[in-house]
Structure 1
Amino acid sequence: MASNSSASGPSSTPTAPAEKPSALPVNILPSPVARIYSIVHPALLLALCATRFEALVENPTKELLSTLPWLALIQISYAVICLPPAGSTPSTESSASSPAEGKTSPRLPSGPSGARHGKASKRKQHTNSWACIWSRLLPATLSLSLTFLMATPVLALLLVLFGAPLTTHNAETVLCAAHMAVLSATALIYAHGTDRGVWNEVWGIARPADAVWGGALGAGLGAWFGAIPIPLDWDRPWQAFPITILVGAYIGYALGSLLSRTPLLYGKRVQFTAEELGNKEKKTN
Protein backbone atom coordinates (compact mmCIF):
# COMPACT_ATOMS: atom_id res chain seq x y z
CA MET A 1 0.00 0.00 0.00
CA ALA A 2 1.33 3.36 -0.93
CA SER A 3 1.95 5.68 2.01
CA ASN A 4 0.70 9.26 2.07
CA SER A 5 3.90 11.34 2.27
CA SER A 6 2.02 14.58 2.76
CA ALA A 7 0.47 13.25 5.93
CA SER A 8 3.68 11.74 7.33
CA GLY A 9 5.84 14.88 7.23
CA PRO A 10 6.04 18.55 6.27
CA SER A 11 5.99 19.53 2.63
CA SER A 12 9.39 19.85 0.97
CA THR A 13 8.25 22.73 -1.23
CA PRO A 14 10.38 25.79 -0.36
CA THR A 15 8.46 28.82 0.82
CA ALA A 16 9.32 32.29 -0.43
CA PRO A 17 10.74 34.63 2.23
CA ALA A 18 8.26 37.15 3.51
CA GLU A 19 8.84 40.60 2.07
CA LYS A 20 9.56 43.41 4.50
CA PRO A 21 6.51 45.66 4.73
CA SER A 22 6.84 49.17 3.42
CA ALA A 23 7.32 51.95 5.95
CA LEU A 24 4.07 53.71 6.76
CA PRO A 25 3.48 57.34 5.79
CA VAL A 26 4.96 59.84 8.23
CA ASN A 27 2.44 61.67 10.38
CA ILE A 28 2.92 65.12 11.84
CA LEU A 29 3.35 64.89 15.61
CA PRO A 30 0.07 65.38 17.51
CA SER A 31 1.14 68.34 19.64
CA PRO A 32 -0.55 71.71 18.90
CA VAL A 33 2.83 73.35 18.27
CA ALA A 34 3.70 70.72 15.65
CA ARG A 35 0.35 71.10 13.93
CA ILE A 36 0.65 74.87 13.75
CA TYR A 37 4.31 74.95 12.66
CA SER A 38 3.68 72.33 9.95
CA ILE A 39 1.40 74.91 8.29
CA VAL A 40 3.67 77.89 9.00
CA HIS A 41 6.77 76.08 7.72
CA PRO A 42 5.97 76.22 3.95
CA ALA A 43 5.01 79.88 4.34
CA LEU A 44 8.40 80.61 5.93
CA LEU A 45 10.21 78.99 3.02
CA LEU A 46 8.20 80.92 0.45
CA ALA A 47 8.79 84.14 2.38
CA LEU A 48 12.55 83.48 2.43
CA CYS A 49 12.51 82.89 -1.32
CA ALA A 50 10.38 85.95 -2.08
CA THR A 51 12.23 88.43 0.14
CA ARG A 52 15.64 87.45 -1.23
CA PHE A 53 14.62 87.11 -4.89
CA GLU A 54 15.99 90.46 -6.05
CA ALA A 55 19.33 89.83 -4.32
CA LEU A 56 19.37 86.36 -5.89
CA VAL A 57 18.99 87.86 -9.35
CA GLU A 58 21.76 90.42 -8.74
CA ASN A 59 24.33 88.00 -7.31
CA PRO A 60 23.22 84.33 -7.29
CA THR A 61 26.41 82.89 -5.76
CA LYS A 62 26.56 85.30 -2.83
CA GLU A 63 22.84 85.02 -2.10
CA LEU A 64 22.74 81.24 -2.32
CA LEU A 65 25.61 81.03 0.14
CA SER A 66 24.18 83.56 2.60
CA THR A 67 20.67 82.06 2.70
CA LEU A 68 21.80 78.43 3.01
CA PRO A 69 22.25 78.59 6.84
CA TRP A 70 18.76 80.08 7.23
CA LEU A 71 17.29 77.31 5.09
CA ALA A 72 19.12 74.68 7.16
CA LEU A 73 17.79 76.23 10.39
CA ILE A 74 14.21 76.24 9.09
CA GLN A 75 14.43 72.61 7.97
CA ILE A 76 15.99 71.40 11.23
CA SER A 77 13.32 73.25 13.21
CA TYR A 78 10.64 71.59 11.10
CA ALA A 79 12.11 68.13 11.67
CA VAL A 80 12.55 68.58 15.43
CA ILE A 81 9.14 70.17 16.05
CA CYS A 82 6.91 68.30 13.61
CA LEU A 83 8.35 64.88 12.72
CA PRO A 84 9.10 61.63 14.59
CA PRO A 85 12.77 60.61 14.24
CA ALA A 86 13.75 57.35 12.58
CA GLY A 87 13.22 54.35 14.82
CA SER A 88 10.59 55.96 17.02
CA THR A 89 7.03 54.72 17.30
CA PRO A 90 3.86 56.82 17.27
CA SER A 91 3.02 55.75 20.82
CA THR A 92 6.32 56.86 22.30
CA GLU A 93 6.27 60.16 20.42
CA SER A 94 2.72 60.99 21.49
CA SER A 95 3.40 60.08 25.11
CA ALA A 96 6.59 62.13 25.12
CA SER A 97 4.93 65.21 23.66
CA SER A 98 1.68 65.25 25.63
CA PRO A 99 -0.17 63.23 28.28
CA ALA A 100 -2.51 60.52 27.14
CA GLU A 101 -5.99 61.64 26.19
CA GLY A 102 -8.79 60.73 28.51
CA LYS A 103 -6.48 60.31 31.53
CA THR A 104 -6.18 62.80 34.30
CA SER A 105 -3.32 63.05 36.72
CA PRO A 106 -4.09 61.90 40.27
CA ARG A 107 -5.22 64.65 42.54
CA LEU A 108 -2.45 65.74 44.87
CA PRO A 109 -3.21 66.20 48.54
CA SER A 110 -3.31 69.71 49.87
CA GLY A 111 -0.68 71.01 52.22
CA PRO A 112 3.11 71.21 52.19
CA SER A 113 3.56 67.59 51.09
CA GLY A 114 1.23 68.10 48.14
CA ALA A 115 3.12 71.23 47.12
CA ARG A 116 6.39 69.35 47.22
CA HIS A 117 4.93 66.58 45.06
CA GLY A 118 3.61 69.18 42.60
CA LYS A 119 6.99 70.88 42.29
CA ALA A 120 8.73 67.53 41.80
CA SER A 121 6.22 66.55 39.12
CA LYS A 122 6.72 69.83 37.23
CA ARG A 123 10.50 69.49 37.50
CA LYS A 124 10.31 65.94 36.13
CA GLN A 125 8.12 67.03 33.21
CA HIS A 126 10.56 69.86 32.43
CA THR A 127 13.48 67.41 32.46
CA ASN A 128 11.59 64.98 30.21
CA SER A 129 10.78 67.76 27.73
CA TRP A 130 14.43 68.75 27.45
CA ALA A 131 15.42 65.09 27.03
CA CYS A 132 12.81 64.76 24.27
CA ILE A 133 14.14 67.84 22.47
CA TRP A 134 17.73 66.57 22.70
CA SER A 135 16.67 63.15 21.41
CA ARG A 136 15.37 64.92 18.28
CA LEU A 137 18.17 67.48 17.89
CA LEU A 138 20.86 64.83 17.58
CA PRO A 139 19.26 62.91 14.67
CA ALA A 140 18.34 66.24 13.03
CA THR A 141 21.99 67.33 13.12
CA LEU A 142 23.11 63.98 11.74
CA SER A 143 20.48 64.22 9.01
CA LEU A 144 21.73 67.64 7.96
CA SER A 145 25.33 66.37 7.90
CA LEU A 146 24.40 63.41 5.68
CA THR A 147 22.44 65.78 3.46
CA PHE A 148 25.49 67.93 2.78
CA LEU A 149 27.89 64.99 2.47
CA MET A 150 25.80 62.65 0.32
CA ALA A 151 22.69 64.28 -1.14
CA THR A 152 24.38 67.48 -2.36
CA PRO A 153 26.97 65.74 -4.63
CA VAL A 154 24.27 63.46 -6.06
CA LEU A 155 21.98 66.37 -6.90
CA ALA A 156 24.88 68.40 -8.33
CA LEU A 157 25.67 65.50 -10.66
CA LEU A 158 22.01 65.23 -11.64
CA LEU A 159 21.88 68.96 -12.42
CA VAL A 160 24.86 68.56 -14.75
CA LEU A 161 23.32 65.50 -16.41
CA PHE A 162 20.11 67.43 -17.01
CA GLY A 163 21.87 70.33 -18.68
CA ALA A 164 23.65 72.51 -16.09
CA PRO A 165 26.97 73.99 -17.32
CA LEU A 166 29.88 71.64 -16.73
CA THR A 167 32.85 73.98 -17.16
CA THR A 168 31.26 77.20 -15.88
CA HIS A 169 28.90 78.23 -13.06
CA ASN A 170 30.29 75.46 -10.85
CA ALA A 171 29.68 77.38 -7.63
CA GLU A 172 26.06 78.08 -8.63
CA THR A 173 25.53 74.40 -9.47
CA VAL A 174 26.86 73.15 -6.13
CA LEU A 175 24.97 75.76 -4.09
CA CYS A 176 21.73 75.11 -5.98
CA ALA A 177 22.19 71.39 -5.32
CA ALA A 178 22.81 72.14 -1.63
CA HIS A 179 19.57 74.12 -1.38
CA MET A 180 17.62 71.37 -3.12
CA ALA A 181 19.23 68.72 -0.90
CA VAL A 182 18.38 70.55 2.32
CA LEU A 183 14.83 71.05 1.09
CA SER A 184 14.20 67.47 0.04
CA ALA A 185 16.59 65.14 1.89
CA THR A 186 16.89 66.50 5.44
CA ALA A 187 13.41 65.47 6.55
CA LEU A 188 13.62 62.17 4.64
CA ILE A 189 16.83 61.15 6.40
CA TYR A 190 15.49 62.36 9.76
CA ALA A 191 12.25 60.39 9.48
CA HIS A 192 13.57 57.22 7.78
CA GLY A 193 17.29 57.06 8.54
CA THR A 194 19.19 54.79 6.16
CA ASP A 195 16.41 52.23 5.67
CA ARG A 196 17.27 50.62 2.34
CA GLY A 197 13.68 49.70 1.56
CA VAL A 198 12.50 53.28 2.02
CA TRP A 199 15.25 54.70 -0.18
CA ASN A 200 14.50 52.13 -2.89
CA GLU A 201 10.95 53.47 -2.83
CA VAL A 202 12.25 57.05 -2.93
CA TRP A 203 14.35 56.46 -6.04
CA GLY A 204 11.53 54.42 -7.58
CA ILE A 205 9.01 57.21 -6.83
CA ALA A 206 6.95 54.60 -4.98
CA ARG A 207 6.63 56.07 -1.47
CA PRO A 208 3.13 56.61 -0.07
CA ALA A 209 2.31 60.30 0.03
CA ASP A 210 2.96 62.21 3.25
CA ALA A 211 4.36 65.61 4.19
CA VAL A 212 7.98 64.39 4.00
CA TRP A 213 7.83 62.53 0.71
CA GLY A 214 5.44 65.05 -0.83
CA GLY A 215 7.84 67.89 -0.08
CA ALA A 216 10.79 66.03 -1.59
CA LEU A 217 8.88 65.02 -4.71
CA GLY A 218 7.45 68.52 -5.05
CA ALA A 219 10.93 70.06 -4.85
CA GLY A 220 12.15 67.79 -7.66
CA LEU A 221 9.16 68.47 -9.89
CA GLY A 222 9.32 72.20 -9.14
CA ALA A 223 12.98 72.34 -10.12
CA TRP A 224 12.16 70.42 -13.32
CA PHE A 225 9.44 72.87 -14.35
CA GLY A 226 11.56 75.79 -13.15
CA ALA A 227 14.18 74.98 -15.78
CA ILE A 228 11.72 75.63 -18.62
CA PRO A 229 12.18 79.44 -18.81
CA ILE A 230 16.00 79.27 -18.95
CA PRO A 231 16.42 78.56 -22.70
CA LEU A 232 13.60 80.90 -23.77
CA ASP A 233 14.76 84.02 -25.59
CA TRP A 234 13.19 86.61 -23.28
CA ASP A 235 16.39 88.41 -22.22
CA ARG A 236 15.27 88.68 -18.61
CA PRO A 237 17.89 88.76 -15.82
CA TRP A 238 15.93 86.26 -13.70
CA GLN A 239 16.26 83.63 -16.45
CA ALA A 240 19.91 83.04 -15.60
CA PHE A 241 20.91 79.64 -14.22
CA PRO A 242 19.99 78.52 -11.53
CA ILE A 243 17.44 81.15 -10.40
CA THR A 244 14.26 79.67 -11.88
CA ILE A 245 15.30 76.14 -10.89
CA LEU A 246 15.73 77.18 -7.27
CA VAL A 247 12.49 79.16 -7.13
CA GLY A 248 10.65 76.22 -8.66
CA ALA A 249 12.12 73.89 -6.04
CA TYR A 250 10.95 76.14 -3.20
CA ILE A 251 7.44 76.50 -4.61
CA GLY A 252 7.20 72.79 -5.41
CA TYR A 253 8.32 71.82 -1.93
CA ALA A 254 5.74 74.08 -0.27
CA LEU A 255 2.90 72.80 -2.44
CA GLY A 256 3.97 69.16 -2.20
CA SER A 257 4.28 69.17 1.58
CA LEU A 258 0.82 70.69 1.99
CA LEU A 259 -1.11 68.83 -0.72
CA SER A 260 0.29 65.41 0.24
CA ARG A 261 -1.29 65.75 3.70
CA THR A 262 -4.79 66.15 2.30
CA PRO A 263 -7.17 63.14 2.42
CA LEU A 264 -7.16 63.05 -1.37
CA LEU A 265 -3.42 62.22 -1.57
CA TYR A 266 -2.27 61.03 1.85
CA GLY A 267 -1.07 57.42 1.74
CA LYS A 268 -1.50 57.14 -2.05
CA ARG A 269 1.29 56.04 -4.37
CA VAL A 270 2.29 57.09 -7.88
CA GLN A 271 0.92 54.37 -10.15
CA PHE A 272 3.65 53.91 -12.73
CA THR A 273 6.34 51.85 -10.96
CA ALA A 274 7.69 48.73 -12.67
CA GLU A 275 6.39 46.42 -9.93
CA GLU A 276 2.83 47.70 -10.20
CA LEU A 277 2.90 47.57 -13.99
CA GLY A 278 4.08 43.94 -13.78
CA ASN A 279 1.28 43.04 -11.38
CA LYS A 280 -1.27 44.63 -13.73
CA GLU A 281 0.08 42.60 -16.66
CA LYS A 282 -0.17 39.37 -14.62
CA LYS A 283 -3.79 40.13 -13.77
CA THR A 284 -4.71 40.82 -17.39
CA ASN A 285 -3.00 37.65 -18.76
Structure 2
Amino acid sequence: MASTTSSPTVNTATMSQPPAEKPSAPPVNILPSQLARIYSFVHPALLLTLAASRFEAVVANPVQELLNDLPWLALLQLFFVILCVPPAGSLETASSGDNEEKKKASPRSPSAPRPGKSGHRRKQASGKNVWAGLWARLMPALLSVTLTTFIATPVLAALLVLFGAPLTTHNAETVLCAAHMAVLSASSLVYVHGTDGSVWKEVWGIARPADAVWGGALGTGLGAWFGAIPIPLDWDRPWQTFPITILAGAYIGYAAGSLISRTPFVYGKRVQFVPEVIEEDDKKTN
Protein backbone atom coordinates (compact mmCIF):
# COMPACT_ATOMS: atom_id res chain seq x y z
CA MET A 1 0.00 0.00 0.00
CA ALA A 2 2.83 2.36 0.74
CA SER A 3 4.22 1.98 -2.77
CA THR A 4 0.83 2.60 -4.38
CA THR A 5 0.22 5.83 -2.42
CA SER A 6 3.70 7.30 -3.03
CA SER A 7 3.62 7.05 -6.84
CA PRO A 8 0.98 9.80 -7.38
CA THR A 9 3.01 12.23 -5.27
CA VAL A 10 6.08 11.62 -7.43
CA ASN A 11 4.09 12.22 -10.60
CA THR A 12 2.59 15.46 -9.30
CA ALA A 13 6.03 16.68 -8.26
CA THR A 14 7.44 16.03 -11.70
CA MET A 15 4.43 17.65 -13.35
CA SER A 16 4.73 20.75 -11.18
CA GLN A 17 8.31 21.41 -12.26
CA PRO A 18 8.64 24.32 -14.70
CA PRO A 19 9.72 23.43 -18.23
CA ALA A 20 13.43 23.65 -18.88
CA GLU A 21 14.50 26.85 -20.57
CA LYS A 22 15.86 26.62 -24.09
CA PRO A 23 19.66 26.91 -24.00
CA SER A 24 21.15 29.99 -25.58
CA ALA A 25 22.49 29.63 -29.10
CA PRO A 26 26.27 29.32 -29.06
CA PRO A 27 28.52 31.93 -30.71
CA VAL A 28 28.84 31.60 -34.46
CA ASN A 29 32.12 30.26 -35.82
CA ILE A 30 33.54 31.16 -39.20
CA LEU A 31 33.40 28.11 -41.48
CA PRO A 32 36.62 26.05 -41.38
CA SER A 33 37.47 26.33 -45.09
CA GLN A 34 40.51 28.39 -46.02
CA LEU A 35 38.47 30.58 -48.38
CA ALA A 36 36.00 31.41 -45.61
CA ARG A 37 38.73 32.36 -43.15
CA ILE A 38 40.53 34.56 -45.68
CA TYR A 39 37.42 36.34 -46.90
CA SER A 40 36.20 36.91 -43.35
CA PHE A 41 39.17 39.27 -42.90
CA VAL A 42 38.95 40.75 -46.40
CA HIS A 43 35.24 41.55 -46.11
CA PRO A 44 35.51 44.41 -43.56
CA ALA A 45 38.29 45.94 -45.65
CA LEU A 46 36.10 45.81 -48.76
CA LEU A 47 33.25 47.54 -46.95
CA LEU A 48 35.54 50.30 -45.69
CA THR A 49 36.96 50.69 -49.19
CA LEU A 50 33.45 51.06 -50.61
CA ALA A 51 32.54 53.67 -48.01
CA ALA A 52 35.78 55.62 -48.45
CA SER A 53 35.70 55.60 -52.26
CA ARG A 54 32.14 56.93 -52.38
CA PHE A 55 32.44 59.37 -49.47
CA GLU A 56 32.86 62.53 -51.57
CA ALA A 57 29.99 61.53 -53.84
CA VAL A 58 27.77 60.91 -50.81
CA VAL A 59 28.63 64.35 -49.45
CA ALA A 60 27.72 65.95 -52.80
CA ASN A 61 24.46 64.03 -53.34
CA PRO A 62 23.52 61.82 -50.36
CA VAL A 63 20.21 60.42 -51.61
CA GLN A 64 21.40 59.40 -55.06
CA GLU A 65 24.71 57.91 -53.93
CA LEU A 66 23.29 56.02 -50.96
CA LEU A 67 20.68 54.53 -53.27
CA ASN A 68 23.33 53.52 -55.80
CA ASP A 69 25.63 52.02 -53.15
CA LEU A 70 22.94 49.94 -51.45
CA PRO A 71 22.94 47.07 -54.02
CA TRP A 72 26.74 46.80 -53.77
CA LEU A 73 26.50 46.62 -49.99
CA ALA A 74 23.84 43.92 -50.21
CA LEU A 75 25.98 41.95 -52.69
CA LEU A 76 29.02 42.06 -50.41
CA GLN A 77 26.93 40.91 -47.46
CA LEU A 78 25.54 38.04 -49.56
CA PHE A 79 29.09 36.91 -50.38
CA PHE A 80 30.03 37.09 -46.71
CA VAL A 81 27.17 35.00 -45.35
CA ILE A 82 27.36 32.42 -48.14
CA LEU A 83 31.12 31.93 -47.88
CA CYS A 84 31.85 32.47 -44.20
CA VAL A 85 28.98 31.53 -41.85
CA PRO A 86 26.52 28.61 -41.60
CA PRO A 87 22.81 29.23 -42.33
CA ALA A 88 20.09 28.91 -39.70
CA GLY A 89 19.61 25.35 -38.50
CA SER A 90 23.15 24.20 -39.35
CA LEU A 91 25.27 25.86 -36.65
CA GLU A 92 26.80 22.50 -35.81
CA THR A 93 28.63 22.40 -39.14
CA ALA A 94 31.06 25.07 -37.99
CA SER A 95 32.01 23.20 -34.82
CA SER A 96 32.20 19.79 -36.46
CA GLY A 97 34.32 20.92 -39.38
CA ASP A 98 37.58 20.01 -37.68
CA ASN A 99 36.31 16.52 -36.87
CA GLU A 100 35.34 15.95 -40.48
CA GLU A 101 38.78 17.06 -41.66
CA LYS A 102 40.39 14.61 -39.22
CA LYS A 103 38.25 11.81 -40.59
CA LYS A 104 39.28 12.67 -44.12
CA ALA A 105 42.94 12.75 -43.12
CA SER A 106 42.80 9.37 -41.40
CA PRO A 107 44.41 6.44 -43.30
CA ARG A 108 42.14 4.41 -45.48
CA SER A 109 41.12 0.99 -44.23
CA PRO A 110 42.27 -1.98 -46.30
CA SER A 111 38.71 -3.21 -46.67
CA ALA A 112 37.57 -0.01 -48.34
CA PRO A 113 36.93 -0.42 -52.08
CA ARG A 114 39.41 1.19 -54.41
CA PRO A 115 38.12 3.72 -56.91
CA GLY A 116 37.72 2.19 -60.30
CA LYS A 117 35.20 2.84 -63.01
CA SER A 118 32.84 4.33 -60.45
CA GLY A 119 35.20 7.30 -59.95
CA HIS A 120 33.53 9.30 -62.74
CA ARG A 121 30.13 8.78 -61.13
CA ARG A 122 31.47 9.89 -57.79
CA LYS A 123 32.85 13.06 -59.33
CA GLN A 124 29.47 13.78 -60.91
CA ALA A 125 27.72 13.20 -57.58
CA SER A 126 30.18 15.43 -55.76
CA GLY A 127 29.64 18.16 -58.35
CA LYS A 128 25.89 17.94 -57.85
CA ASN A 129 26.37 18.10 -54.08
CA VAL A 130 28.46 21.27 -54.44
CA TRP A 131 25.76 22.99 -56.49
CA ALA A 132 23.06 21.77 -54.11
CA GLY A 133 25.01 23.11 -51.13
CA LEU A 134 25.53 26.44 -52.88
CA TRP A 135 21.83 26.71 -53.68
CA ALA A 136 20.98 25.78 -50.07
CA ARG A 137 23.06 28.75 -48.93
CA LEU A 138 21.91 31.17 -51.61
CA MET A 139 18.22 30.89 -50.82
CA PRO A 140 18.46 31.77 -47.10
CA ALA A 141 20.93 34.54 -48.01
CA LEU A 142 18.44 36.13 -50.41
CA LEU A 143 15.69 35.66 -47.84
CA SER A 144 17.77 37.34 -45.13
CA VAL A 145 18.35 40.41 -47.32
CA THR A 146 14.65 40.53 -48.21
CA LEU A 147 13.53 40.35 -44.57
CA THR A 148 16.13 42.96 -43.66
CA THR A 149 14.88 45.34 -46.34
CA PHE A 150 11.19 45.09 -45.49
CA ILE A 151 11.30 44.60 -41.71
CA ALA A 152 14.58 45.84 -40.22
CA THR A 153 14.75 49.03 -42.31
CA PRO A 154 11.45 50.52 -41.04
CA VAL A 155 12.35 49.59 -37.45
CA LEU A 156 15.75 51.27 -37.66
CA ALA A 157 14.24 54.30 -39.41
CA ALA A 158 11.82 54.72 -36.51
CA LEU A 159 14.70 54.37 -34.03
CA LEU A 160 16.69 57.03 -35.89
CA VAL A 161 13.74 59.42 -35.58
CA LEU A 162 13.38 58.62 -31.88
CA PHE A 163 17.07 59.35 -31.37
CA GLY A 164 16.89 62.76 -33.03
CA ALA A 165 16.68 62.37 -36.82
CA PRO A 166 14.43 64.97 -38.47
CA LEU A 167 10.82 63.85 -38.77
CA THR A 168 9.36 66.28 -41.30
CA THR A 169 12.47 66.68 -43.48
CA HIS A 170 15.26 64.45 -44.82
CA ASN A 171 12.91 61.47 -44.97
CA ALA A 172 14.76 59.85 -47.89
CA GLU A 173 18.07 60.24 -46.09
CA THR A 174 16.62 58.64 -42.95
CA VAL A 175 15.24 55.62 -44.83
CA LEU A 176 18.46 55.07 -46.80
CA CYS A 177 20.57 55.42 -43.67
CA ALA A 178 18.37 52.83 -41.95
CA ALA A 179 18.61 50.53 -44.99
CA HIS A 180 22.42 50.64 -44.98
CA MET A 181 22.54 50.00 -41.24
CA ALA A 182 20.02 47.17 -41.55
CA VAL A 183 21.94 45.39 -44.29
CA LEU A 184 25.17 45.79 -42.31
CA SER A 185 23.81 44.54 -39.00
CA ALA A 186 20.67 42.46 -39.51
CA SER A 187 21.22 40.49 -42.72
CA SER A 188 23.89 38.25 -41.18
CA LEU A 189 21.86 37.79 -37.99
CA VAL A 190 18.78 36.69 -39.95
CA TYR A 191 20.86 34.34 -42.11
CA VAL A 192 22.53 32.65 -39.13
CA HIS A 193 19.71 32.63 -36.55
CA GLY A 194 16.55 32.84 -38.65
CA THR A 195 13.50 33.81 -36.62
CA ASP A 196 14.57 32.18 -33.33
CA GLY A 197 12.76 34.25 -30.69
CA SER A 198 15.21 33.47 -27.89
CA VAL A 199 18.13 34.69 -29.98
CA TRP A 200 16.39 37.92 -30.94
CA LYS A 201 15.56 38.58 -27.28
CA GLU A 202 19.28 38.37 -26.59
CA VAL A 203 19.97 40.66 -29.54
CA TRP A 204 17.64 43.39 -28.28
CA GLY A 205 18.89 42.84 -24.75
CA ILE A 206 22.54 43.10 -25.88
CA ALA A 207 23.14 39.69 -24.31
CA ARG A 208 24.51 37.63 -27.21
CA PRO A 209 27.93 35.99 -26.85
CA ALA A 210 30.52 37.77 -28.96
CA ASP A 211 31.21 36.45 -32.45
CA ALA A 212 31.81 37.91 -35.91
CA VAL A 213 28.08 38.28 -36.68
CA TRP A 214 26.97 39.77 -33.37
CA GLY A 215 30.11 41.88 -33.09
CA GLY A 216 29.43 43.43 -36.50
CA ALA A 217 25.82 44.21 -35.55
CA LEU A 218 26.76 45.71 -32.20
CA GLY A 219 29.62 47.65 -33.77
CA THR A 220 27.24 49.10 -36.36
CA GLY A 221 24.96 50.49 -33.65
CA LEU A 222 27.79 51.87 -31.53
CA GLY A 223 29.55 53.34 -34.55
CA ALA A 224 26.37 55.10 -35.68
CA TRP A 225 25.89 56.42 -32.13
CA PHE A 226 29.36 57.95 -31.99
CA GLY A 227 29.09 59.06 -35.61
CA ALA A 228 26.23 61.38 -34.71
CA ILE A 229 28.48 63.47 -32.43
CA PRO A 230 29.91 65.78 -35.16
CA ILE A 231 26.46 66.70 -36.55
CA PRO A 232 25.48 69.39 -33.98
CA LEU A 233 29.00 70.88 -33.81
CA ASP A 234 29.28 74.31 -35.43
CA TRP A 235 32.10 73.55 -37.88
CA ASP A 236 30.22 74.44 -41.10
CA ARG A 237 31.60 71.43 -42.97
CA PRO A 238 29.59 69.81 -45.78
CA TRP A 239 30.22 66.30 -44.43
CA GLN A 240 28.52 67.18 -41.12
CA THR A 241 25.05 67.02 -42.64
CA PHE A 242 22.71 64.18 -41.70
CA PRO A 243 23.28 61.19 -42.14
CA ILE A 244 26.84 61.17 -43.51
CA THR A 245 28.76 60.90 -40.24
CA ILE A 246 26.27 58.38 -38.87
CA LEU A 247 26.84 56.05 -41.81
CA ALA A 248 30.60 56.54 -41.69
CA GLY A 249 30.56 55.55 -38.03
CA ALA A 250 28.32 52.55 -38.80
CA TYR A 251 30.72 51.21 -41.44
CA ILE A 252 33.76 51.72 -39.22
CA GLY A 253 31.95 50.20 -36.24
CA TYR A 254 30.92 47.14 -38.26
CA ALA A 255 34.48 46.48 -39.41
CA ALA A 256 35.93 46.99 -35.94
CA GLY A 257 33.23 44.97 -34.16
CA SER A 258 33.41 41.98 -36.51
CA LEU A 259 37.19 41.75 -36.12
CA ILE A 260 37.52 42.52 -32.41
CA SER A 261 34.80 40.04 -31.46
CA ARG A 262 36.85 37.21 -33.00
CA THR A 263 39.87 37.78 -30.78
CA PRO A 264 40.45 35.20 -28.01
CA PHE A 265 39.92 37.83 -25.30
CA VAL A 266 36.42 38.76 -26.55
CA TYR A 267 35.04 35.74 -28.42
CA GLY A 268 32.17 34.01 -26.61
CA LYS A 269 31.89 36.63 -23.86
CA ARG A 270 28.80 38.71 -23.11
CA VAL A 271 28.32 42.36 -22.23
CA GLN A 272 27.87 42.70 -18.45
CA PHE A 273 26.04 45.73 -17.15
CA VAL A 274 26.30 44.70 -13.45
CA PRO A 275 29.76 44.19 -11.94
CA GLU A 276 30.48 40.73 -10.61
CA VAL A 277 31.45 42.17 -7.20
CA ILE A 278 27.93 43.47 -6.64
CA GLU A 279 26.46 40.11 -7.61
CA GLU A 280 28.72 38.30 -5.13
CA ASP A 281 27.75 40.73 -2.33
CA ASP A 282 24.07 40.10 -3.05
CA LYS A 283 24.64 36.33 -2.79
CA LYS A 284 26.38 36.74 0.59
CA THR A 285 23.56 38.85 2.03
CA ASN A 286 20.96 36.35 0.85
Asked if these proteins are the same fold (TM beyond 0.5), I'd say: yes
Deviation at 1:119, TM superposition (A): 1.9
Helix, strand or coil: the match of 2:118? helix
Deviation at 1:108, TM superposition (A): 3.5
Letter of the 1:257 partner, please give it: S
Deviation at 1:123, TM superposition (A): 1.5
Deviations 1:44-101 (A, max 9, x none): 0000001001101100001100000000000011001101000114248849x97844
Residue number in structure 2 paired with 1:272: 273
Structure 2 residue 114 is matched with structure 1 residue 108: yes
Helix, strand or coil: the match of 1:73? helix
- Alpha-carbon distance between aligned partners in 2 of 1:247 and 1:227, rounded to the nearest angstrom: 10
Pair 1:190–1:165, CA change in 2 (3 A): same
- Give the length in aligned residue pairs: 276
- Alpha-carbon distance between aligned partners in 2 of 1:104 and 1:137, rounded to the nearest angstrom: 34
Pick from 36, 39, 61: which aligns with 1:37?
39
Deviations 1:213-260 (A, max 9, x none): 000000000000000000000011110000000000000000000110
Query: 1:69-88 counterparts in 2 under 5 A?
Result: 69-88=71-90
Asked if 2 retains the 8 angstrom alpha-carbon contact of 1:108 and 1:118, the reply is no
Structure 2 residue 54 is matched with structure 1 residue 52: yes
Pair 1:68–1:277, CA change in 2 (3 A): farther
Letter of the 1:40 partner, please give it: V
Pair 1:155–1:48, CA change in 2 (3 A): same
Deviations 1:113-143 (A, max 9, x none): x2x3222222211111110000000000111
Helix, strand or coil: the match of 1:143? helix
Task: Structure 1 unaligned segments of length 5 or more: list them.
Answer: none
Pick from 2, 7, 29: which aligns with 1:27?
29
Runs of 4+ residues deviating >3 angstroms: 5-9, 91-95, 97-101, 103-109, 276-282
Structure 2 residue 156 is matched with structure 1 residue 155: yes
- Alpha-carbon distance between aligned partners in 1 of 2:278 and 2:150, rounded to the nearest angstrom: 36
Helix, strand or coil: the match of 1:84? coil
Query: 1:195-206 counterparts in 2 under 5 A?
Result: 195-206=196-207
Letter of the 2:181 partner, please give it: M
Query: 1:119-268 counterparts in 2 under 5 A?
Result: 119-268=120-269
Percent same amino acid at aligned positions?
A: 65
- Alpha-carbon distance between aligned partners in 1 of 2:252 and 2:183, rounded to the nearest angstrom: 14
Task: Structure 2 unaligned segments of length 5 or more: list them.
Answer: none
Letter of the 1:69 partner, please give it: P
Pair 1:123–1:99, CA change in 2 (3 A): farther
Pair 1:222–1:236, CA change in 2 (3 A): same
Asked if 1 retains the 8 angstrom alpha-carbon contact of 2:86 and 2:93, the reply is no
Q: CA RMSD in A?
A: 2.7
